[in-house]
Amino acid sequence: MTTDSSTARPALTTLSDDELAFRDAVAAFAAGEVAPRVAQMERDAKLDPALIKAYFEMGLMGIQAPEAHGGAGGSVMMVTLAVEEISKVDAAAAIMVDVQNTLVANPLLSAATPAQLARWMPKLCAETVGAYALSEAVSGSDAFALQTRATPKDGGFVLNGRKLWITNGAEAGLYVVFATVDPAKGYKGITAFVVERPAPGFSVGKKEDKLGIRASSTTELIFEEVFVPAENVLGQVGQGYKLAIAALNEGRIGIGAQMVGVAQGALNAAIAYLKERQQFGRPLSEFQGIQFQIAQAATELEAARLMVYNAARLKDSGGDIAQVGAMAKLLSSQVCERVTSLAVELFGGYGYTKDYPVEKYYRDAKIGTIYEGTSNMQLQTIAKGLLK
Distant-in-sequence, close-in-space partners of 36: CB < 8 Å, separation ≥ 6: none
- Strand pairing category for 218-229 and 202-207: antiparallel
Q: How many angstroms separate the CA atoms of 313 and 75, rounded?
A: 9
201 backbone dihedrals φ, ψ, rounded to 5°: 90, -10
**How far apart (Å, rounded) are the C-alpha atoms in residues 266 and 340?**
6
CA atoms of 362 and 42, how far apart (whole Å): 14
Element spanning 157, H or E: strand 156-167
Determine which one of 42, 220, 250, 372 is catalytic. Answer: 372
Secondary structure of residue 34 in the 3-state scheme = helix
337 is catalytic: no
- For the chain, the farthest-separated pair of C-alpha atoms sits apart, in whole angstroms, at 79
Pairing between β-strand 218-229 and β-strand 156-167 as defined by DSSP bridges: antiparallel
Residues labelled as active-site residues? 372
